[in-house]
């Protein structure tokens, strides 16, 4: 790809990321997380969640145990007037902590590939990122992977305490479905999108993958076992994002199927690259400690297959993703570039 083409694609990626971030902030402000018997002004709440820090400067410090198992937020507004600004701040903290926004971008670009416009899928894309952020918060918890850093910053439980982080994740999952349900997608398509997202998130999707991942620590799993974990834990939501983009645009069953195949292949390649980078990248590049998977006795593609085979599968799955687009969509330039970029990434 020519340098000018790559620059154009990076610019388009940034444009989509900005669209999602601006709309997510609007969605958070619109959701009525406040006492139902009082107005926002009566609650002493401003239009920004960041005011919580000014109102309760010692709220986080007052959590007696950084993991928060038996702690309370003494002296905060929660004790004084029933507000819960710290919870809202914790939600916003992780939602806007950075990241590639790959899932919502895939949603937007599949919508655009069908109808020529990404905007019908914007709220759905935001919902997908909210749900993804909830999974990251819970994934970092001490009872899960016990990671104190995420994207170069303290993870949610390290900053706010374990009970606040757990509830922030729960609330973001609820906010995801609320945002999707309230979107302007036609009702029949909304129902299909909700089904796709719930299937990816639940007992046969992310939760199953996380269960298999944690329960498999310290065991010698096969390649098939590791693929099962990550087809559920990682690829399922990426696949849902692609399908929901097509659904929002009113695409055909064939397009939904093709989008799902693309995303499953991209998701597998993405996870294998993650496993490689966990060994080969630096802490500064990844924004978190390297070697954490090995430290948790996790089975990874790298530990089972080695570097050479990992690179071969990444290349094969990327080509599979690109091939799945042929014949179903008119303009696939960005989606092809994205699959290649994710396969070659260094962080």
Where along the chain do its domains lie?
Answer: 92-344
Report the topology of domain 92-344: Farnesyl Diphosphate Synthase (1.10.600)
Residue 325, classed as helix, strand or coil, is helix
Measured CA to CA, the distance from residue 72 to residue 84 in angstroms comes to 12
SS (H, E, C) 110-127: HHHHHHCCCHHHHHHHHH
| Paired tokens of 149 | 């850093």
Q: In angstroms, rounded to a whole number, what is the distance separating the alpha carbons of residues 151 and 148? A: 10
What lies within 8 Å, CB to CB, of 110 at 6+ separation is: 121, 241, 242, 243, 245, 246, 249, 251, 259, 329, 335
Read off the pTM.
0.84
Q: Which helix (H) or strand (E) holds 149?
A: strand 149-150
Task: Please give the helix or strand (H or E) that residue 150 lies within, else none.
Answer: strand 149-150
What is the rounded CA–CA span in Å between residue 338 and residue 334? 6
Residue 332 contacts residue 113 (beta carbons within 8 Å): yes
Helix ranges restricted to H, the chain: 3-30, 51-55, 77-80, 85-95, 102-115, 122-140, 156-160, 162-181, 187-201, 206-215, 223-230, 236-248, 253-280, 283-286, 292-295, 301-325, 333-344
| Closest CA relative to residue 131, chosen from 183, 200, 30 | 200
Contact 223, 304 (CB under 8 A): yes
CA max distance for the chain? 62
- Encode the chain (347 residues) as per-residue pLDDT tens digits: 554 588 999 999 999 999 999 999 998 887 654 445 444 444 443 333 333 333 333 333 333 333 343 333 433 445 456 778 899 999 999 999 988 999 999 999 999 999 999 999 999 999 999 999 999 999 999 999 888 988 889 999 999 999 999 999 999 999 999 999 999 999 999 999 999 999 999 999 999 999 999 999 888 899 999 999 999 999 999 999 999 999 999 999 999 999 999 999 999 999 999 999 988 866 665 655 666 666 567 789 998 999 999 999 999 999 999 999 999 998 999 999 999 999 998 87
pLDDT attached to residue 63: 32
């Amino acid at each position: 790809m020519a340098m000018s083409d790559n620059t154009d694609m990076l610019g388009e990626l940034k444009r989509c990321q900005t669209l999602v971030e601006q709309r997510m902030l609007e969605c958070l402000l619109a959701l009525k997380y406040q006492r139902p018997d009082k107005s926002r002004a009566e609650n002493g709440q401003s239009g920004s969640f960041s005011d919580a820090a000014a109102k309760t400067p010692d709220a986080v410090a007052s959590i007696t145990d950084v993991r928060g198992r038996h702690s309370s937020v003494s002296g905060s507004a929660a004790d004084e007037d029933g507000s819960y600004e710290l919870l809202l701040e914790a939600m916003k903290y992780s939602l806007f902590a950075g990241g590639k926004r790959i899932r919502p971008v895939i949603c937007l670009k599949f919508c655009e590939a069908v109808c020529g416009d990404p905007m019908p899928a914007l709220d759905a894309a935001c919902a997908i990122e909210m749900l993804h952020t909830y999974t990251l918060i819970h994934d970092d918890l001490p009872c899960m992977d016990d990671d104190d850093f995420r994207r170069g910053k303290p993870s949610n439980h390290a900053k706010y305490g374990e009970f606040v982080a757990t509830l922030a994740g729960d609330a973001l999952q609820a906010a995801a479905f609320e945002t999707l349900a309230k979107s302007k997608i036609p009702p029949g398509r909304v129902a299909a999108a909700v089904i796709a997202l719930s299937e990816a998130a639940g007992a046969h999707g992310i939760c199953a993958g996380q269960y298999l991942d944690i329960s498999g620590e310290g065991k010698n799993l096969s390649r098939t076992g590791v693929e099962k974990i990550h087809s559920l834990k990682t690829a399922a939501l990426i696949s849902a994002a692609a399908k929901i983009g097509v659904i929002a645009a009113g695409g055909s069953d064939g397009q939904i199927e093709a989008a799902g195949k693309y995303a499953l292949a991209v998701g597998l390649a993405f996870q294998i690259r993650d496993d490689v980078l966990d060994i080969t990248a630096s802490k500064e590049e990844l924004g978190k400690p390297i070697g954490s998977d090995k430290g948790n006795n996790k089975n990874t593609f790298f530990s089972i297959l080695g570097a050479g085979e990992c690179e071969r599968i990444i290349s094969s799955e990327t080509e599979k993703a690109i091939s799945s687009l042929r014949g179903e969509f008119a303009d696939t330039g960005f989606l092809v570039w994205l699959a290649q970029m994710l396969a070659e990434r260094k962080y």
